[in-house]
C-alpha cells in the first residue's frame, strides 16, 4: 500500500503537467517542408504568392521568397503548433514501455527497439491497419541459447479518436539442458505467449489505453486475464510522460505493477527511461525496477522534429 501511495504522489503531478502542456496552446496549422534542388530543407507556412514564386514563413528565417525553379518538393508536415513553434508528431506512438497501444504504424513506417541491451525487436507497418513485428532475446548464463518472438497487431480504425486493437506476442524458445555426469544434453522447444485486445482513446500526443491479455502455452490458455492501463501525454517539444501499469490475479491473489517515466525523442531516434514498482500480494517492502530502451525510426517521411 505504501508503494501505491508513493506511486500516486509522483504520477499525478506529472500527469497534470503533461495534460496542461499539450492542451493549453496546441493548435493544428498547415505546415510544409520545402526541399530545394540543392538539398536545402525549409519548414514553414505558405503565404499568399503570385507568379512563379512561393512565399514561406519560417521560424528562424522569417519570410522567405523562393522561385519555383529552385524547389524540388513541397510536402505537408505532420504535427501541431504551440506558441508559434512547430512540434512534429511523436514518432513512437504504437506502444508505452512494455504494453502496446491499439494504434498501428502507418504503411511504410518502421521502428527498431532495443530493451535492456539483450532484447531486440523491429515493427513495420505493412498497411495502415496491420503492423508486423518480431525480434529475439539473449539471456546470458541460462540454458536457453536461442529464442525469438513475433508480435502481429491489427487496428480496426487507425485514424479514429477511439481505436480498437487485437494482437499477440508469440515466443518460441529453444532450451538446452545438461543432465547427469556425462554432460548429456536434453533439447526441447517451448512455445507460448499472450493474446490481447485493447482500446486506445486520444491521439498520438495524448492517449490512454485499457487492455486485457490471456497467456497461453503447452496447449493451455490462462483463465485469468492480465489487465493493463496506460497513459501517455506530450510534456515538451521532445519529451512525453508515460505511465504503464498491469494487474494480474492468480491463485486468489492480485498483484499489480505500476510505472512512471519519460520518452525522449528526436526526429528518428528516441529512448525510454522509467521505473516500475510492484504492489499488492505479500510484498513487505518497496522494490524499484529500472527500465530503459532505445528506439530508431526508419522508412516513410521525416516528421519535422530537427533543429
User: Residue 303: inside a domain, yes or no?
Assistant: no
- The 10 Å Cβ neighbour count of residue 53 is 11
Instruction: Examine the domain organization and report whether 82 and 100 are in the same domain.
Output: no
User: Residue 249: inside a domain, yes or no?
Assistant: yes
Instruction: Examine the domain organization and report whether 160 and 61 are in the same domain.
Output: no
Instruction: Examine the domain organization and report whether 135 and 267 are in the same domain.
Output: yes
Q: What would the grid cell of residue 228 be?
A: 493493463
Instruction: Examine the domain organization and report whether 150 and 167 are in the same domain.
Output: yes
Instruction: Examine the domain organization and report whether 14 and 53 are in the same domain.
Output: no
Instruction: Examine the domain organization and report whether 125 and 200 are in the same domain.
Output: yes
The listed range with the strongest mean pLDDT (93-102, 180-189, 282-291) is: 93-102
Instruction: Examine the domain organization and report whether 250 and 290 are in the same domain.
Output: yes
Alpha helices in the chain (DSSP H): 2-25
Instruction: Examine the domain organization and report whether 62 and 134 are in the same domain.
Output: no
Instruction: Examine the domain organization and report whether 138 and 263 are in the same domain.
Output: yes
Q: What would the grid cell of residue 176 be?
A: 538446452
Give the total number of structural domains in the chain: 2
Residue 10 pLDDT greater than 50, yes or no: no
164-204 pLDDT, tens digit each: 999 999 998 876 665 555 555 667 778 899 999 999 999 88
Structure confidence at residue 267 (pLDDT): 81
Q: Is the separation of the CB atoms in 237 and 18 below 8 Å?
A: no
Structure confidence at residue 254 (pLDDT): 83
Q: Which domain holds residue 71?
A: 31-86
Instruction: Examine the domain organization and report whether 66 and 157 are in the same domain.
Output: no
Instruction: Examine the domain organization and report whether 102 and 80 are in the same domain.
Output: no
User: Residue 306: inside a domain, yes or no?
Assistant: no
Task: Compute the average pLDDT of residues 255-283.
Answer: 89
More confident call, 146 vs 208: 208
Q: Which residues contact 238 (CB under 8 A, 6 or more apart)?
A: 264, 265, 266, 305
Instruction: Examine the domain organization and report whether 242 and 102 are in the same domain.
Output: yes
pLDDT > 70 fraction of the chain, expressed in percent and rounded = 80
Which of 86, 106, 121 delimits the end of a domain?
Answer: 86
Report field, pTM of the whole predicted structure over 0.75: yes
User: Residue 307: inside a domain, yes or no?
Assistant: no
More confident call, 93 vs 24: 93
Amino acid at each position: 500500500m505504501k508503494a501505491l501511495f508513493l506511486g500516486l504522489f509522483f504520477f499525478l503531478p506529472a500527469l497534470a503537467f503533461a495534460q496542461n502542456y499539450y492542451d493549453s496552446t496546441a493548435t493544428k496549422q498547415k505546415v510544409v517542408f520545402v526541399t530545394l534542388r540543392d538539398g536545402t530543407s525549409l519548414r514553414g507556412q505558405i503565404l499568399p504568392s503570385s507568379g512563379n514564386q512561393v512565399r514561406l514563413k519560417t521560424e528562424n528565417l522569417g519570410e522567405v521568397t523562393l522561385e519555383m525553379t529552385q524547389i524540388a518538393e513541397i510536402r505537408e508536415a505532420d504535427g501541431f503548433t504551440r506558441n508559434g513553434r512547430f512540434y512534429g508528431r511523436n514518432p513512437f506512438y504504437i506502444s508505452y514501455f512494455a504494453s502496446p497501444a491499439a494504434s498501428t504504424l502507418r504503411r511504410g513506417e518502421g521502428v527498431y527497439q532495443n530493451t535492456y541491451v539483450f532484447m531486440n525487436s523491429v515493427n513495420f507497418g505493412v498497411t495502415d491497419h496491420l503492423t508486423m513485428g518480431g525480434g529475439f532475446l539473449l539471456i546470458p548464463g541460462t540454458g536457453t541459447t536461442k529464442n525469438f518472438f513475433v508480435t502481429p497487431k491489427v487496428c480496426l480504425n487507425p485514424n479514429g479518436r477511439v481505436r480498437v486493437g487485437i494482437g499477440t506476442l508469440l515466443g518460441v524458445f529453444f532450451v538446452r539442458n545438461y543432465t547427469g555426469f556425462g554432460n548429456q544434453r536434453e533439447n526441447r522447444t517451448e512455445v507460448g505467449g499472450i493474446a490481447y485486445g485493447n482500446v486506445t482513446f486520444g491521439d498520438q500526443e495524448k492517449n490512454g489505453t485499457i487492455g486485457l491479455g490471456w497467456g497461453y502455452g503447452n496447449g493451455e490458455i490462462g483463465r485469468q486475464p492480465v489487465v493493463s492501463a496506460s497513459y501517455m501525454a506530450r510534456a515538451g517539444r521532445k519529451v512525453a510522460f508515460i505511465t504503464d501499469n498491469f494487474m494480474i490475479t492468480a491463485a486468489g491473489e492480485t498483484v499489480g505493477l505500476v510505472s512512471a517515466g519519460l520518452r525522449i525523442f528526436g526526429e528518428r531516434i528516441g529512448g525510454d527511461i522509467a521505473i516500475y514498482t510492484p504492489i499488492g500480494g505479500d510484498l513487505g517492502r518497496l522494490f524499484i525496477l529500472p527500465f530503459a530502451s532505445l528506439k530508431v525510426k526508419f522508412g516513410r517521411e521525416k516528421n519535422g522534429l530537427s533543429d
